[in-house]
Amino acid sequence: MKQNNDFYIGWMDKAPASYSRYIKKVVVFLGCLAIVAALILSQQQRKFSTASFEFGQLTEITGTYQQLPVPAIKVKTQNDIFGNNSWLTIPLVGYGKFGAEGVIASLEKEHNTVLEGKQVVFKGTLLYSDGKTLLQVDKNDNPLVSINQPVPAQVIKHELGIVELKGEIIDPKCYFGVMKPGHGKPHRDCAIRCIEGGMDPVFYVRNDKGEANYYLILGVDGKKINDELKDYIAEPVSLKAKAVQVDDWTVLYLDGNKSIKRLGGLSWFKQQDNTISCSPR
């Protein structure tokens, strides 16, 4: 009977051949395992945010001011093949952790006018990400450059019915560039203060292709419900609301926090391609 005399002690000059082959196999296996693990982990990570905040750079935007559903400037972009206008809606946010309503009210009082429906030139700081653009207006920047006669800006609305969505309530200013990351637990404390300060809350939904969708949140009467949302900000939730497409934004009219449910884990990332599913009323 053949005896296996392969025995290795660390101070020996050379390990037996069988021992060397075994160690090589283990090293190759562990190397492959490390590569596979790295690939799996990299696929689970969120892509780095492309959100941008043009800090220190003021831009002038010309368009029609509208107060509803949120303070915004509608900018004419182009005509389609049928001669119809195309519009970009740019919501306004205030400086710091405040909404734009205070700045607008101050400007209307200063100029003794109502801005609704008028063509205006606003100066402010742009924020943008995922095809959405916002403008921060600061009273110290003298943001209202000029006021002109009203310019017709047709509002295109489509009732989308009752929807149920899974996602995260965010404040748009942080998410669209001021803070990175602008979502999840690192963003929660900042977002709560921003939404309590009057920032218009946004519902962020990501489908199974990684595509982002954003919805403005208001109460069923079209008024702010920021105080009712603060306990659910920056965590996975589902909500049920009436959805209305208003130009290039969708507005969710929510019946208070009773229409919101917390979700466990990362289940909201499994939102399907049909991000909005409507049910007839």
What is the per-residue pLDDT across 192-237, written as a single tens digit (0 to 9) for each? 888 888 899 999 998 777 788 999 999 999 999 999 998 898 889 9
How is residue 70 written in tokens?
């949120």
Domain ranges for the chain: 52-150, 157-270
Q: Going by DSSP bridges, is the β-strand pair 144-150/157-170 parallel, antiparallel, or unpaired? A: unpaired
Same fold, 52-150 and 157-270: yes
Write out pLDDT tens, residues 9-47: 555 566 666 666 777 777 777 777 777 766 665 555 555
Give the per-residue pLDDT at 41: 57
Q: Could you tell me which residue, 122 or 192, shows the higher pLDDT?
A: 122
Give me the CATH code for the 157-270 domain, please. Answer: 2.40.50
Give the per-residue pLDDT at 151: 73
- Domain 52-150: which topology? OB fold (Dihydrolipoamide Acetyltransferase, E2P) (2.40.50)
Q: Is 107 exposed, middle or buried (0-12, 13-18, 19+ CB in 10 A)?
A: buried
Q: What is the DSSP string of 132-201?
A: EEEEEE-GGG--EEEEEEE---PPPEEEEEEEEEEEEEE-HHIIIIISSS-SSHHHHHHHHHHHHTTPPP
**Nearest CA among 254, 247, 165, 157 for reference residue 201:** 254
**Nearest CA among 256, 269, 70 for reference residue 165:** 269
Write out pLDDT tens, residues 140-169: 999 999 998 877 767 788 999 999 999 999
- Over 60: is that where the pLDDT of 176 sits? yes
| Average of per-residue pLDDT across 121-137 | 90
- Over 80: is that where the pLDDT of 2 sits? no
Cα angle vertex 77, ends 75, 79, to 5°? 130
Q: Taking all residues of the chain, what is their mean pLDDT, rounded to a whole number?
A: 79
